[in-house]
Amino acid sequence: MTHSHAIVWMDFREARIFRFNAEDVEHEHLKAHNPFRKVHHKAGVIGAGRLALDTNFFDHIVDALRGTTEWLLVGPSGAKLELLRHIEQHMPWVRKTLVGVHAMDHPTDGELLAHARQAFKAIDRMLPNTPA
């Protein structure tokens, strides 16, 4: 079954992806292999104080979006912005299907899906040549 919409909630440890249409929902939960986050820099330590980004994690998120025509990216941290930067540099065609980036704390699965359905209802009304 084709799922035209998706929402990705992510932080530096995990991503929850919901692909859905009017009748059906698919859910996928991904864990980062190497969770990335800012590490406080200590005096005398070489480096910028950041762990390397887990680009495999980002690629798995993008793979989970395969077949969707529009998607939202939400989450509480800068992780979503790192994903966006990765997509813009390596997969610009995926960026074209992104319809919004929002800050969102830690919703339940039900709250996340309800937010996505409400957001896409508004987005679909704004699209040209779409019956109300």
The torsion angles phi and psi of 105, rounded to 5 degrees, stand at -65, -125
Give the number of domains in the chain. Answer: 1
Task: Please check the confidence at residue 102 and state whether its pLDDT lies above 60.
Answer: yes
Q: What is the pLDDT of residues 31-90, one digit of tens each?
A: 998 655 444 445 554 555 555 568 899 999 999 999 899 999 999 978 999 999 999 999
Most distant pair of Cα atoms in the chain: their distance: 63
Q: Find the CATH number of the domain harbouring 19.
A: 3.30.420.60
The candidate with the shortest Cα–Cα distance to 7, out of 128, 126, 132, 104, is: 104
Q: Does residue 131 form part of some domain?
A: no
Instruction: Provide the pLDDT for residue 130.
Output: 47
> Is residue 99 domain-resident?
yes
Q: Is residue 119 part of a domain?
A: yes
Q: What is the CB neighbour count within 10 angstroms for residue 110? A: 8
User: How far apart, in whole angstroms, are the C-alpha atoms of residue 31 and residue 123?
Assistant: 29
Percent of the chain scored above 70 by pLDDT? Answer: 79
Flag whether pLDDT at 118 surpasses 50. Answer: yes
Mean pLDDT of all residues belonging to the chain = 84
Query: Residue 52 belongs to what domain range?
Result: 5-126
Return the pLDDT at 38. 47
